[in-house]
Amino acid sequence: MNFLAPSIGMAGAMKPGGLSRVYLLSSFDCSGGSEMDLNRRALLLGLSATTIGSGLPLYGSRAQTDGSRSVFEAMYGPMDDLYPVPPVDLTQINPAYLRRVVRYETSEAPGTIVVDPQTRYLYLVLRDGMAVRYGVGVGRAGFGWSGAATIKNKQEWPDWYPPKEMLGREPKLMSMMSELQSGPGMPGGPGNPLGARALYLYQGNKDTLYRIHGTFEPWTIGTSVSSGCIRMINQDVMDLYEHTPLGTKVVVLSPGSQAQPHSLSSLSTPPGQE
């Protein structure tokens, strides 16, 4: 389904043999892993310390305050990283799930991450009742746990270690694994289902096996997916990663507990696309 005009560029090419492996991992388990200017017409947002809070960077997060397609194209364009991150084909994603600043009333402190699996949104809490809202895709594991946790590990281009139970159910996966430092796994890269970044949630010293991670399947954002935990567009998870120091609190909401945010551009944006 096309959500935006087809003039927006298609995703760029991947390294040979890279992306093709993603499609073979339709049932992966994410538990493996080593880790405003408030002018509503502003186009790019440099989030100031007074807006975000002292625990987050002064500048650097880019988020959308209106419906300008060109700004989304800039936010979701190609990124030069350890591996190249291709541009996102925005025609495949509902605009409601693209990164933007919204009003978000919560008792959580600035810098907290709030995940709402039911609405498929993730919020980075700012000051003064604001948040950066990101669209997510939610896998089976993403609906299976709720509560408060802490980011105790974060990885760029994380390795993926399938649980032994998964390898037992799907022996063919072993042919895709390499012998890594922590056992059979898939090294980080374009073919890895955890994408460009991963954040690992702990309660005390116990790994919750709940992950927030990237994906090379951006068309799944805003949907319920067959696998994984909380997946984000790679450009979004890279942005969130830069604003998420170790020790960041994460709250995963249970059904019925979500707040009702409002986009800054809700007065000028058609219903359903705020």
Q: H/E element holding 230?
A: strand 230-233
Query: Are 54 and 27 a contacting pair, CB within 8 Å?
Result: no
Neighbour-count burial of 146, counting CB atoms closer than 10 A to its CB (0-12 exposed, 13-18 middle, 19+ buried): middle
- What does 236-252 look like in DSSP terms, one character per residue? HHHHHHHT--TT-EEEE
Choice among 30, 229, 243, 262 that is catalytic: 229
Based on its alpha-carbon atoms, the radius of gyration of the chain, rounded to whole angstroms, reads: 18
Choice among 30, 213, 243, 262 that is catalytic: 213
Distances (CA, A) of 50 to 56, 59, 92, 189: 10, 11, 35, 36
- What does 122-154 look like in DSSP terms, one character per residue? EEEE-STTEEEEEE-EE-GGGGS--EEEEEEEE
Question: One-letter amino acid identity for 106?
Answer: T
Tokens representing 250?
């994460």
Tokens representing 33?
């892993």
Tokens representing 35?
């880790």
The answer to whether 213 is a known catalytic residue is: yes
The answer to whether 262 is a known catalytic residue is: no
- Which residues have a catalytic role annotated? 213, 229
